């Protein structure tokens, strides 16, 4: 059995979270001003969600810092799973924001209030949404490039904020055109429903990550194709298992070679396979290979996870 092959540590992603924090502070200020000048509960719900964005970004910064710590004696496989706690916590904060929005909207339904300075409020809200949209695009691209669920979760949250703002703007315009004050809290309730959906999806994805889900199917296919290349040499394999923890992938496989091979030849083969797999997959990958003689029936007794 060879020592797990470790890829170089990925670059720090905390600079992207710093961008998210700055954007959250700016949009909270803008949307809070929009609520102040209009009195719109829809715009208030928008500002509250941006407050959640800030709290989530600060938590993401903390947990991403933990996730980037190198392996140690107590955590030999690293700390990358901390990213899943970040996205789960962000999902919970989103649900908390939805509760606050629903409570405020219900109160406004029972006690309708006219909106003021609608034009100014909408302009401010649109500017804040544009900031969120730009930052969300940056975070999403970085999250996919570095396979970071923390960045992707933050980006999805910001995009939810963008669509939420669009709905609120439509609601405020509808109130201005029709005079139906109830449209504003009704739009806020719709916003809350959208936020709840986003929060549940984030928490679900985090749970799957903590349950050691396999790497994507396309990447598993690439690994299998690499192993199949050696079949003409009499090489077989089984027990191919994969899992993903944050940015890092973990792969283990048993490689069966002719028993007459020397230890050196078998070792060279495993080194070549591990190198090919690391080169084929994006991001850091840890590979564990186990060498067995293809003629020995005992080699086939450990196909399952429990021998």
Domain boundaries, the chain: 14-210, 217-300
pLDDT at 7: 47
pLDDT at 224: 94
pLDDT tens, N- to C-terminus, the chain (307 residues): 444 444 444 557 888 888 889 988 888 888 788 777 777 666 676 677 677 778 778 888 887 888 778 877 888 777 777 777 777 877 787 787 778 778 877 877 887 766 555 677 678 778 888 898 999 999 888 888 877 777 877 887 787 778 777 777 777 777 777 878 777 778 778 877 877 887 787 788 777 777 777 888 899 999 999 999 999 999 999 989 998 877 788 999 999 999 999 999 999 999 999 999 999 987 788 899 999 998 888 777 776 666 5
CATH number for the domain formed by residue range(s) 217-300? 3.30.70.1350
pLDDT at 271: 95
Residue 111's SS3 state is coil
Pull the structure tokens for residue 240: 């191919």
Residue-level length of the chain: 307
Residue 293 parent element (H or E): strand 285-293
CATH number for the domain formed by residue range(s) 14-210? 1.20.1510.10
pLDDT at 10: 52
The answer to whether 192 and 105 are in contact (CB under 8 A) is yes
The answer to whether 246 and 82 are in contact (CB under 8 A) is yes
Predicted TM-score of the model (pTM): 0.61
What proportions of the chain, in percent to the nearest 5, are helix, strand and coil?
65, 10, 25
pLDDT at 305: 63
Beta bridge partners of 252: 241, 288
Q: What is the 8-class DSSP label of residue 5?
A: B
The answer to whether 121 and 35 are in contact (CB under 8 A) is yes
Pull the structure tokens for residue 216: 């994507």
């Amino acid at each position: 059995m060879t020592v797990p092959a470790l890829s170089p540590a990925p670059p720090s992603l905390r600079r992207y979270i710093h961008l998210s924090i700055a954007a959250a502070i700016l949009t909270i200020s803008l949307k809070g001003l929009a609520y102040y000048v209009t009195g719109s509960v829809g715009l208030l719900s928008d500002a509250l969600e941006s407050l959640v964005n800030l709290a989530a970004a600060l938590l993401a910064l903390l947990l991403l810092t933990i996730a980037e710590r190198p392996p140690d004696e107590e955590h030999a496989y690293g700390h990358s799973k901390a990213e899943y706690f970040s996205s789960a916590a962000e999902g919970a904060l989103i649900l908390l924001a939805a509760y606050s929005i629903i409570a405020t909207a219900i109160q406004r339904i029972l006690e309708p209030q006219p909106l003021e300075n609608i034009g100014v409020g909408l302009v401010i809200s649109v500017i804040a949404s544009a900031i969120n949209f730009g930052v969300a695009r940056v975070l999403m691209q970085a999250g996919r490039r570095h396979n970071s669920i923390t960045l992707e979760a933050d980006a999805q949250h910001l995009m939810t904020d963008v669509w939420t703002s669009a709905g609120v703007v439509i609601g405020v315009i509808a109130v201005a055109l029709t005079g139906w004050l109830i449209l504003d809290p009704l739009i806020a309730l719709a916003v809350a429903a959208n936020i709840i959906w986003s929060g549940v999806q984030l928490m679900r994805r985090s749970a799957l990550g903590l349950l050691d889900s396999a790497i994507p199917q396309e990447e598993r296919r690439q690994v299998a194709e690499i192993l199949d290349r050696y079949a003409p040499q009499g090489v077989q394999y089984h027990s191919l298992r994969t899992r993903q923890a944050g940015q890092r992938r973990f792969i283990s496989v048993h490689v069966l070679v002719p028993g007459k091979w020397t230890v050196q030849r078998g070792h060279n083969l495993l080194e070549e396979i591990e190198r090919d797999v690391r080169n084929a997959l994006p991001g850091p990958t840890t590979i564990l290979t186990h060498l067995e003689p293809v003629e020995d029936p005992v080699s086939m007794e450990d196909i399952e996870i429990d021998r």
